[in-house]
A and B are shown apart, each in its own frame.
Chain A
Amino acid sequence: MSVKLTTRQNGDVTVIDAAGRITLGEGASAFREAIRDLAAKGNAKVLLNLSEITYIDSSGIGELVSGFTTVRNQGGVLKLVGLTKRVQDLLQITKLYTVFDVYDDEPTAIKSFA
């Protein structure tokens, strides 16, 4: 299964629920388009829920970084919530924990945008 992305609003924060795999090819490009679409529409507060992500490769990590910079370049903020142990490991290895704001649960993440 490739990545499945569902977008919803929680207050003024746009939450993207991602499920499946973010890998080179369809998964990564779908993810990229979704983030660009949100940024173009002026969504300034984006929370990416990765709790249902089963697999992510270096291309997928690259898309997370691109999503982060795309939203930031539009004056917004992208944060992460619900990282599985595997995604946490990847962010540790790549030192991206120092780049992303990461939260364990959605209510705490939502409050952080205030």
Chain B
Amino acid sequence: MAQSNDDGEIQRVDRLLDSTLENVDLAEADVMRLAEIAGFDEEDLHRIGIAVRESMVNAVVHGNHYSTKKKVHFSVSLSVVHEAAAAPRDCLAVIIEDEGDGFQKKEVPDPLAEENLLRHSGRGLLLIEAFMDHFSIEPRTPQGTKVTLVKYKTRS
């Protein structure tokens, strides 16, 4: 499941997961393992863990609705990014895809609006955006939602 190649990619894990909360833990553990290899500090590890957890929960609970017929497509990779006039950076990239009915970010009420502060839910995306360097949501083909999370670390 873990691979290495010569394109700057140090490690990669791909999994096809059932829509269960146990697999939320599994995905989080995979990401934590690669993040530790990259040398992220304790605080960043915590932030990355929460962001991955929130994304996996969205896929399992809100995307696939725990369906035994729907899978979560999960991958995490650790690579080295070389950019002109900049120090090389480790790039931890996580892609999580569900097979749900699709999702638009604008469907989620702004959790920071005064009238929404006491809502029970709706803060997951806010935390992911706060804790990762890049976060995108796009439709998945043929159905579902694909989210991409990226965190960089300058090589010391």
Q: Chain B interface mostly helix, strand, loop or mixed?
A: helix
Give the residues in chain A near B24, CB-CB below 8 Å. Answer: 24
Q: How far is the CB of B107 from chain A (nearest CB, A)?
A: 16
Q: Does B134 count as interface, using CB distance less than 8 angstroms?
A: no
Given A23-B53, A24-B21, A95-B112, also A58-B127 (CB < 8 A)? yes
The count of chain B contact residues (Cβ–Cβ below 8 Å) is: 22
Using an 8 Å CB-CB cutoff, how does the interface string of B55-87 with A read, 1 for contact, 0 for none?
001000100000000000000000000000000
* A66, B122: Cα distance in complex, Å: 13
Contact among B49, B50, B53, B123 for A94, CB-based, below 8 A: B123
The prevalent SS among residues of A at the interface is helix
With contacts A86-B46, A94-B126 taken as known, whether A62 is within 8 angstroms of B21 at the C-beta atoms is no
In the docked arrangement, what's the CA distance between A28 and B123, Å?
Answer: 15
Extra contacts, 12 of them, besides A58-B123, A95-B111 (Cβ < 8 A), are: A23-B53, A24-B24, A24-B61, A55-B46, A57-B53, A58-B124, A62-B123, A65-B119, A93-B130, A94-B126, A95-B117, A98-B117
How many A residues face the partner with a CB closer than 8 A? 22
A69 on the interface (CB 8 Å rule)?
yes
Within B1-60, the residues touching A (CB, 8 Å) are: 21, 24, 43, 46, 49-50, 53-54, 57
CB-CB under 8 A from A94, the residues of chain B are 111-112, 123, 126-127
